[in-house]
A and B are shown apart, each in its own frame.
Chain A
Amino acid sequence: MMQDDRRPFARKLDLKNGQVDMSHGSGGKAMAQLVEELFGAAFDNPLLARRNDQAVFDPPPGRLAVTTDSYVVSPLFFPGGDIGSLAVHGTVNDLAMAGARPLYLTAGFIIEEGFALRDLARIVASMAAAAAEAGVAIVTGDTKVVERGKGDGVFINTTGIGAVPPGVAPSGDRARPGDAVLVSGFVGDHGVAIMSTRENLSFETTIASDSAALHGLVAAMVDAVPDVHVLRDPTRGGLATTLNEIARQSGVGMLLDERAIPVRGEVAAACELLGLDPFYVANEGKLVAICAPGDAARLLDTMRGHPLGIDAAVIGTVIDDDHRFVQLQTTFGGKRIVDWLAGEQLPRIC
């Protein structure tokens, strides 16, 4: 049978019942078809459309930010998102925490043999939608297939490039005693949403992941307060771990007010059930900001004026402390430290 080069693939991908097999990562025609019909169609943009192994573009004026992150979440689909939207939001947010406007993403897929094409298509569509909403283009990518049992469905790596506006230089080492510590909203939603779906922990909650791209919120914040000292998104390890990282980088302590930290009732309840502390539970659509005390009111107002920062709050202050402890004034009236997360946060009975 003659091959028609205008229609290079004899049959369309079976997105309903098909599976990824080793040929989809082999570099041959099957892979070309997967890239063409799935990734290319979903992520379509002029740079990607050239089908080169790299994207070439003119750099924007000023400084660039670059970041990379790999996504290995289980389950792949969870209330409020999936690994695809997460892979966009997470990397966009890492750029945004430098005050950057995200421009381009790359996408690397490591797919386990036997993975349903239907699920892959769903993930890719979600990724495309998240990228479109965030205004970033996925301009180059990579696909590998590993044998069954050697992956967990699909892993995604995304690298992001963004442009940092002049005069904006938030960094984890810039917290100074007296600075205000702010958080953009309720903490712990993402981790609780993920845990609610885990086998053997099953509980029912209406909590959905807070997964969201924060660069719009950050743009408004750096517009209002260009000299914001620190921006960071409290993902793995949660708020507590993020604040400890900043305290160490900046060589300072912090004093938090437990009453001021926004935690949803259901998140608090789920954490009680599992013996976890919401301050250690992951977020994917929240940020911590630290700024000079005189800027705090303006920054808070700006955050609350943005849909992703409506529940923002000032939660504490940076203090001078050689030991770099993050301390908490409890609602009960006592004081304690909020330490680094030790090991993995495991549900406990005791």
Chain B
Amino acid sequence: MRHGRYPLIVSFLLPPLVLYGIFVLSPYLQAFQISTTDWLGYSAQADPVGLANFRTLLHDGYVWNALKNNAILLALVPVLTIALGLFFATMLTMGGRKGRAGVSGVRGTSVYRLVYFFPQVLSVVIIALLWKEIYHPNSGLLNGALRALGLPAPTWLGDPRFAFWCVLAVMVWSNVGFYVVLFGAAMQAIPRDIYEAVLLDGASRAVMLRKITIPLLWDTVQVAWIYLAIAALDGFILVQLMTNGGPNFSSDVIGNRMYDTAFGSETKFGYASAIGVVMFFLTLSVAVLALRAARRDRIEHS
């Protein structure tokens, strides 16, 4: 049957590959080329300037400030999201107390799963607007609750001490649900008899999680890690809509810097492309590092 395969493969793979080449790869290559010009975006005139844009970038305090924020996101968002995701998924799949073999979820698992997944259904724009109202300093849900408890009510998005952390919290919130479902699905694939065996050996739940569940989930966690790291290097939509990088650039991220340089406050497309190229390499290195660091011996169960 081998002779029938190639036409099939070609007809299924070639069109998407061509589209990918035209709409993803070629703009990338062009971004590299544009980043070495002084192109201002509204005429065809663009003179090559070599690496001048990258030199400017090196001394651009606003870019470094944005990168610093991305670094914090990178350090915290994946860890928080995966930890919360694992915790909730564990509770949903094996938190229940039914029977000695304790591997059923808490009551109402399917409802919880739906609720957790809910933010994933909303567009990021809606999430941003929703939280902007929750953080509303006077009529927002959050400050209403704080006031009811007699606590001080800060101006969340208007205070450089809080704005960035508010966006970070939303980023984690909007991601957790997806990973709860993902981890939950992976956990269900783990054979029950393994749990029964360790339970008979007298393992506690914590030991079960550490020694059985996480090792068997490792591939999935690794994928989650890479996705979240990439998301942490972006963060653009939430920042743009919730704070626009402010106040006083305290919540700026590199994606916002790039957008602002090209479309926002000036029209330096060459320079913006240089920022884009830097982003590309950062994302690539982060992904490679994450893959390397997360590599472990695979545990097979059959």
Q: Do A and B bind each other?
A: no
Residues of B within 8 A of A (CB): none
Residues of A within 8 A of B (CB): none
